[in-house]
Amino acid sequence: MDTRISWDQYFIAQAAILSTRSTCTRLHVGAIIVREHRIIASGYNGSVAGTPHCTEVGDLIVDGHCVRAVHAEQNALMQAAQMGISVDGAEVYVTDVPCVQCTKLLLQAGIRNINFMRDYHNDPFAEELLRQKHVSLKQVPFSSQTAHQIDLNQFIAHE
């Protein structure tokens, strides 16, 4: 019997770990783009590279949204573009359900499956677009037992 965590749990855990790099003060989000069980790009939410972070200068909220932030999914797509990597046919693992704008970008880029950990302001229009494009939106089960299997304490040097 295989006791390893599933591929879905592995990649969603990677997205969760990546989210700890976020410089957003409101929500930490991580996104991993995967093809054939290989990570091809990743991103987390934060300010434009080289500009002040919300953790340093505060949020810049307009109409309920932080306009300083680049979303994790956007950063992952841009990383792939900068490296010349096509994401057509790939899937994404993201800590939170993508917003409608990120959903549109993911669809335009050719992402075929969206896997997420937590619901977050799910948008009915985004869900309709996913149905029209036949792209799955799937919540990856992640329990405390799964988290326990990812025991990072075993790698800490004993003092």
What are the residue numbers of the active site?
73
Residue 71 in marked binding region: yes
Residue 99 in marked binding region: yes
> What is the C-alpha end-to-end distance of the chain, expressed in Å?
35
91-96 sheet: strands from edge to edge: 38-44, 30-35, 91-96, 113-118, 136-139
Residue 102 in marked binding region: yes
CB distance 81 to 105 below 8 Å: no
Binding site for Zn(2+): residue ranges?
Answer: 71, 99, 102
Binding site: residue ranges?
Answer: 71, 99, 102
